[in-house]
A and B are shown apart, each in its own frame.
Chain A
Amino acid sequence: MSVSTGSFDVTAATDTELILHAKQGNMDAFETLVQRYDRRVLTIAAGYVNSADDAKDIYQEVFMRVYRALSKFEMRSEFSTWLFRITTNVCLSYRMRGRRHQHASLERGSEDEGQPHQGPPALRDETTAERMGEDEEIARRVAESLEKLSPRQRLVFTLRHYEGYKLTEIAEMLKCSEGSVKKYLFEATARMREHLNDLA
């Protein structure tokens, strides 16, 4: 299939057309293709690591891999499926590289407590302040319980519960059966409930 790059309208093109042009070195086509999905990549990463810096690291790694491997992408699956599969792989291996990321996000979480986003204390009544303090404490505990999950349990849980992906979609991303995804979800829920038992 020959592809003309001269008068090619990237905004109206399909993913397949963009991929073909990108493979021929059209960086505009590649950029357009990536921008259709990169927010979702960053969102998945941010949900998984709960840290802006770590999410950006994952994002960079994902798109470096995509950049290097696009020429080998044979379009046997949707580009988005391939991309999200890479994203989940990078997420899982990122967690495996070192535990320092967890500490970073936790430290940041505790540093953020009581910061300006709450507004000046004098402007809030005590009940609201108390409630916000409780919510923060619960949020910290939930984040802590997520940290205790295995990488796969955590990824499945965040993708299903917070990002709203269907179990079949998650199974496709992780290249495993829907049954396995359910297993990770049930295990994650059970462990988190155990950890948060006193809050229920």
Chain B
Amino acid sequence: MDHQHYQEWLQLSLYDELSDDARALLEDHLRTCTECQAEGDRLRGFHRILSAHRPMPVTEQLLQQARRERRVAWHESVENGLGKRVGDALMGFFARPLRMALAGVAILVVGFAAGWFAMTQSVGSGGGFIPGMHQAGGNSESFAPGSMRVQNIRFIERDANTGNIEVEFEAVSPMRVRGNVNDASIQYVLARVLLNEENPGMRLRAANMFGTASDDRTSADYQVKTALIAAMKADPNLGVRKQALTVLQEYLPDPSVTEAFLSVLANEKNIGMKIAAINALDLKKLTGRTASQDVLQALQKTVASDENNYIRIRAQAALEEVQQ
């Protein structure tokens, strides 16, 4: 046996992964081999260095945070699953006659092939796709129907005489895009992540990334702002809503953002969110602009009827500021 082999055993012995027989052989060898003795010393030194670095500990707080986000994701999944069950029931209705089922399968195959053809054509010509985006895998030649996922199938029409049915579905194919957060293609993807991704952690990350975009919000894509507003108003995850609100402050005094903050003030259940919204509205950014009637009314309503004393006081201050 060569030294290399013994040196591997040395490493295994440090992890207590060596059998008794192998350990006895190794000890015998070490009595006479200075090279392997030295290697053993170096290896133990290496392990001492490693002990300086410990992986990030999982705190109770981190675990609880992850659990909360998981429950939200599951909850959303259950809600989405209801639609799927209804779809399945409809599928069952259509699938009863064998003839029609076979026709459906045939049409699906045709649709699949047509979708593949259309997508390969688009990729090849660069038309109809997001700028800078290409399919994961490098080029259109590597694309195959097998990499495409069919989802949200919808039966549009059936003809009892011929057995023909029309099917609509979404063909999903893996894509990859690289670029700056200010690029239109990246913003396009992030906006969809923010609105459609099941995982709240991913949505939060998308909102965070919008926060790192260029300071020049005037040039920001309309869809970014719209996505952030939708997330702030309706995302089921508080962290995502809060982050969207934080990023949207940069857009003030944009009237649609102001209106969205007023909507949060009127409809949000979480007190922290309402306080953040009222604080944002109170920023100097509103000064010098004529407050719309909607803003005044919303603030007056808050002053008159909000359950939280602090929010009423802050609304009063904001009202006085915008009325100046």
Answer yes or no: are A and B bound together in one complex: yes
Give the interface of A toward B (CB within 8 A): 27, 31, 34-35, 38-39, 42-43, 46-47, 50-53, 55-57, 59-61, 63-64, 67-68, 135, 138-139, 142-143, 158, 160-163, 166-167, 182, 185-186, 189, 192-193, 196, 199-200
What residues of chain B lie closer than 8 Å to A182, measured between beta carbons? 8, 12
Q: Are A38 and B67 in contact (CB under 8 A)?
A: yes
Nearest 7 CB-CB pairings of A with B = A142-B53, A47-B55, A139-B53, A138-B52, A60-B199, A46-B56, A59-B66
Q: Are A60 and B201 in contact (CB under 8 A)?
A: yes
What residues of chain B lie closer than 8 Å to A31, measured between beta carbons? 71
The residue among A60, A162, A200 with the most chain B CB atoms within 10 A of its own CB is A60
What residues of chain B lie closer than 8 Å to A139, measured between beta carbons? 52-54
Number of interface residues of B (CB under 8 A): 34
What residues of chain B lie closer than 8 Å to A67, measured between beta carbons? 74, 77
Q: Are A61 and B199 in contact (CB under 8 A)?
A: yes
A186, B65: Cα distance in complex, Å: 36
Is B46 an interface residue when CB atoms closer than 8 A count as contact?
yes
**Closest B-chain residue to A146, C-beta based?**
B53
Q: Are A162 and B199 in contact (CB under 8 A)?
A: no
A53, B243: Cα distance in complex, Å: 15
Q: Are A185 and B56 in contact (CB under 8 A)?
A: no
Q: Are B73 and A52 in contact (CB under 8 A)?
A: no
Q: Are B56 and A162 in contact (CB under 8 A)?
A: no
Q: Are A38 and B63 in contact (CB under 8 A)?
A: yes
**Smallest CB–CB gap between A100 and chain B, Å?**
10
Interfacial residues of chain B within 182-240, with CB under 8 A of chain A in the complex: 198-202, 205
A158, B52: Cα distance in complex, Å: 14
A138, B49: Cα distance in complex, Å: 7
**Smallest CB–CB gap between A174 and chain B, Å?**
16
What residues of chain B lie closer than 8 Å to A56, measured between beta carbons? 62, 65-66, 69, 201
Is B11 an interface residue when CB atoms closer than 8 A count as contact?
yes
**Smallest CB–CB gap between A35 and chain B, Å?**
8
**With A166-B17, A189-B11, A199-B49 given, is the CB distance from A39 to B73 under 8 Å?**
no
Is B128 an interface residue when CB atoms closer than 8 A count as contact?
no
The residue among A35, A61, A158 with the most chain B CB atoms within 10 A of its own CB is A61
A166, B17: Cα distance in complex, Å: 8
Q: Are A55 and B56 in contact (CB under 8 A)?
A: yes
1/0 per residue, CB under 8 A from A, across B1-16: the answer is: 0000000100110010
| Residue in B15, B199, B201 whose beta carbon sits within 8 Å of that of A160 in the complex | B15
Q: Are A46 and B58 in contact (CB under 8 A)?
A: yes
- 21 A-B residue pairs with Cβ-Cβ distance under 8 Å, sorted by A, are A31-B71, A38-B66, A39-B58, A42-B58, A42-B62, A42-B63, A43-B58, A47-B55, A56-B65, A60-B73, A60-B200, A61-B199, A63-B73, A67-B74, A138-B53, A161-B15, A161-B50, A185-B11, A189-B46, A193-B46, A200-B45
**Closest A-chain residue to B199, C-beta based?**
A60
The residue among A59, A162, A186 with the most chain B CB atoms within 10 A of its own CB is A59
Is B138 an interface residue when CB atoms closer than 8 A count as contact?
no
- Chain B interface secondary structure, helix, strand, loop or mixed? helix
| Residue in A51, A59, A142 whose beta carbon sits within 8 Å of that of B50 in the complex | A142
What residues of chain B lie closer than 8 Å to A27, measured between beta carbons? 74
**With A52-B62, A161-B50 given, is the CB distance from A46 to B42 under 8 Å?**
no
Is B57 an interface residue when CB atoms closer than 8 A count as contact?
yes
Q: Are B66 and A60 in contact (CB under 8 A)?
A: yes
The residue among B46, B49, B65, B200 with the most chain A CB atoms within 10 A of its own CB is B49
**Closest B-chain residue to A52, C-beta based?**
B62
What residues of chain A lie closer than 8 Å to B74, measured between beta carbons? 27, 63-64, 67
**Closest A-chain residue to B48, C-beta based?**
A200
Q: Are B54 and A57 in contact (CB under 8 A)?
A: no
**Smallest CB–CB gap between B133 and chain A, Å?**
14
**Smallest CB–CB gap between A105 and chain B, Å?**
8
Q: Are A64 and B49 in contact (CB under 8 A)?
A: no
A135, B50: Cα distance in complex, Å: 10
A31, B205: Cα distance in complex, Å: 25
Is B70 an interface residue when CB atoms closer than 8 A count as contact?
yes
**Smallest CB–CB gap between A96 and chain B, Å?**
10
Q: Are A39 and B63 in contact (CB under 8 A)?
A: yes
**Smallest CB–CB gap between A30 and chain B, Å?**
8
What residues of chain A lie closer than 8 Å to B49, measured between beta carbons? 138, 142, 196, 199-200
A64, B66: Cα distance in complex, Å: 12
What residues of chain B lie closer than 8 Å to A63, measured between beta carbons? 70, 73-74
What residues of chain A lie closer than 8 Å to B15, measured between beta carbons? 160-161, 167
What residues of chain B lie closer than 8 Å to A60, measured between beta carbons? 66, 69-70, 73, 199-202
What residues of chain A lie closer than 8 Å to B205, measured between beta carbons? 53, 57
